[in-house]
Amino acid sequence: MLKSKIGIVYTTFLRTELANQTIESIKQNWRAGLFLYVGEQFDFRLGASRLEIQQTKQPFITYYSFAFDSGVSLVRNQLIQFIAQDGIQYCLVTADSIAFTQHTVARLDAAVAFLEAHPDVGILGFDLADRVAWEWYMELKNQRFVLSRTPAVTLDQASGLMVKPCDICRQFFLARVDAILNVKWDEAFKTGEHEDFFWRFKSSWYKVCWTPDISGQYIHSRPVEYMRFRARQYTEYMKLLFKKYNLTDWVEYAQ
């Protein structure tokens, strides 16, 4: 049993088979104290949702349906608001492409201990197997986001985790609910929200750190209909990002 309650922020869109698989992985690696909040963007004109949790009700799983193509930013914001209303102070942000393993849940108490020992840290990022590393320092310079290398991990005595600071990580992390509510995702970004969120989070009072000691398994799944909507990340929402920050290029990797 976990020492602190954690609300899992789980979003899914047009990947029902994948969602059923990764939700099952969460159930198989369950710990008392975890509460799963599932947000599905679903077109109910097509019939009932095919998520299996709709047929097998669990007291620790809450399902919310959102209008088709509401956008991941809106769904995340709403789920975290529900978590806050339930009095839960920590949230684990994940998605339908991430399977939980024993390495995801075994040290969640240590992750909470890290945040409690470091009140200036709002997000502790986790590792993802089979996914490119994305733990960087981030600057806005010469009309582009500049990503630079972070230091090696060091042992945090309070939690026993190996940790390092960064400005941006994968959107698979443990966070303080109040820190996320202070920033939120910009709901204008239905996809392609990653850089915008972490840049604004960097501008808040809270910091970001990352640990390799807690991990999930990334699962590659690209259904045609999902990819048609996801492709807007590099067209419509890339243009929005450029306009919002007056960018001339997306990112530059500092040497």
In order of start, what are the domains of the chain with their CATH numbers? 6-253 (3.90.550.10)
Q: Residue 82 corresponds to which amino acid? A: F
Collect all residues with Cβ–Cβ distance below 8 Å to 253 and sequence separation of at least 6: 146, 147, 148
53: tokens are 């949790």
Does residue 209 carry a pLDDT above 70? Answer: yes
- Indicate the range of 72-76, 124-128, 159-163, 235-239 predicted with least confidence: 235-239
- Indicate the range of 66-75, 103-112, 224-233 predicted with least confidence: 224-233
Q: Cβ distance 204 to 179 under 8 Å?
A: yes
Q: Which residue has the higher pLDDT, 55 or 68?
A: 68
Integer-rounded Cα Rg, in Å, for the chain is: 18
Backbone angles phi, psi at 121, to 5 degrees: -100, 125
Q: Cβ distance 103 to 29 under 8 Å?
A: no
pLDDT bin (cut points 50, 70, 90) of residue 163 is: very high
pLDDT of residue 58: 80
pLDDT bin (cut points 50, 70, 90) of residue 234 is: confident
Backbone angles phi, psi at 213, to 5 degrees: -80, -10
| pLDDT (average), residues 149-153 | 96
Angle at 166 between CA 176 and CA 220, to 5 degrees: 80
- Tens of pLDDT, residue by residue over 13-64, are 999 999 999 999 999 999 999 999 999 998 776 666 778 776 567 889 999 9
Does residue 255 carry a pLDDT above 70? Answer: no
pLDDT of residue 25: 96
DSSP string computed for the chain:
--SS-EEEEEEEES-HHHHHHHHHHHHHT--TTEEEEEEEE--GGG-S---GGGTS--TTEEEEEE-TT--HHHHHHHHHHHHHHTT--EEEEEETTEE--HHHHTTHHHHHHHHHH-TTEEEEEEEEETS----BEEEEETTEEEEEPPPPPEE-TTT--EEEEESB--S-EEEEHHHHHHH---TT-SS--HHHHHHHHHTSS-EEEEEEEEEEEE-----HHHHHHHGGGGTHHHHHHHHHHT-SSSEEE--
